[in-house]
Amino acid sequence: GENVEQHPSTLSVQEGDSAVIKCTYSDSASNYFPWYKQELGKRPQLIIDIRSNVGEKKDQRIAVTLNKTAKHFSLHITETQPEDSAVYFCAASMGGAGGSYIPTFGRGTSLIVHP
């Protein structure tokens, strides 16, 4: 089955710095790569995703890059703010019958943004 490795497990930055979280996956058939943000005491929520037919996607201060050859994808957050502090999870999945995607999650990165 799929295996997703996520690094680092903890990331501490100063407000205004950039943050990068990296994930690698093992199954070359995976074609959907979402990122979820989980604030303390809250549910995970999708912040950005990328499908295998593109190499990069941006949404304001966040971006995701995908390298299918190397089987890794990364989350980039620029101009970090204290409200970016949260646990971030990457996932990899493959579209199956009936549109089902069964994700395998990374173990999470705790991002701390110091004011």
3-state secondary structure of 83: helix
Tell me which of 21, 44, 84, 111 binds another protein, using CB under 8 A: 44
- Report residue 97 as tokens: 């019958």
User: Helix, strand, coil % (nearest 5) of the chain?
Assistant: 5, 55, 40
Half-sphere exposure of 105 (CA within 13 A, CB side): 11
Q: Which is nearer to another protein, 58 or 81 (CB)?
A: 58
Rounded to the nearest whole angstrom, what is the least distance from the CB of residue 100 to another protein in the complex?
A: 5
- Provide the residue count of the chain: 115
Q: 2 to 41, contacts with another protein by CB under 8 A? A: 6, 9, 32, 34, 36
Residue from 11, 27, 49, 72 binding another protein (CB under 8 A) = 49
Interacting residues with another protein (CB under 8 A): 1, 6, 9, 32, 34, 36, 42-46, 49, 89, 91, 93, 95, 97-108
